[in-house]
Each structure stands twice: as C-alpha cells, then as structure tokens.
Amino acid sequence: DVKVTQSSRYLVKRTGEKVFLECVQDMDHENMFWYRQDPGLGLRLIYFSYDVKMKEKGDIPEGYSVSREKKERFSLILESASTNQTSMYLCASSGLDRADEQYFGPGTRLTVT
C-alpha cells in the first residue's frame, strides 16, 4: 500500500518562529511537491523537486524554502512564520512524469498566531 506521510497533522506556531514540515514517501518516486490549500483557492504549488537536491519554485514560493537530501524525504521550511501562512499544507509525490497520478499525504494544518 503506497504511502505519503507528513510529520504532523496539526501545528500551532508563533509569528517569527522557524517551522519545519516533513514529508516522507515510500514509493521511490522521483517527484515530490508541497502545496498549500486555502478555501476558494484550491491547491497552490509552493515548490517541487524532481530529484535529490533539485528543486523548482512553484506559484507561491515567497516565504518558503525546501530541502531534499534524500529521495524519500522532502521538507518545507518557513524561515519566519507569519499569520498569512496559516493554512493546510499538503505534500505529494509522483513518478517520472509530473502529470502522473499524485499521491498525497493527509495534510498538516498549520496555525500561526
């Protein structure tokens, strides 16, 4: 059974804190993605990675960075959390072709106070 896991389901952080969101997949997928999901806006791509140590900006990379040191793990970093980063964060992975089916984790609901 394929699996994408995220380190936390719920997270509450204070403004200015550094936040790490971890994602692990067990399917040996090349591509991994980080999205945020907000009501009425759907899923917006923050960053994606197509290989270890490789990354590309998505539509809304400002205020975020990512790290992919190992194929199975993709981390999203909020260097200095702000209240407008309160959101649901979803990680996904897919095979060689980015248009392949994406497998999603359960999401992390982050609240920044």
Q: Which residues bind other proteins (CB under 8 A)?
A: 4, 9, 35, 40-45, 90, 92, 97-99, 101-102, 104-107
CB count within 10 Å of CB 104 equals 16
Cβ proximity to other proteins, 45 vs 77, nearer residue: 45
Retrieve residue 81's tokens: 């959390």
Rank residues 18 and 98 by Cβ distance to other proteins and give the closer one.
98
User: From the CB of 65, what's the least distance to other proteins, in Å?
Assistant: 21
Least separation in angstroms between residue 63's CB and other proteins is: 20
Residue placing its CB nearer to other proteins in the complex, 11 or 17: 11
Helix (H, G, I), strand (E, B) or coil at 84: helix
What's CA 28's distance to the chain center, in Å?
17
Nearest alpha carbon to residue 24 among 70, 56, 61? 70
**How far apart are CB 25 and other proteins at their closest, in Å?**
12
Q: Are 78 and 63 in contact (CB under 8 A)?
A: yes
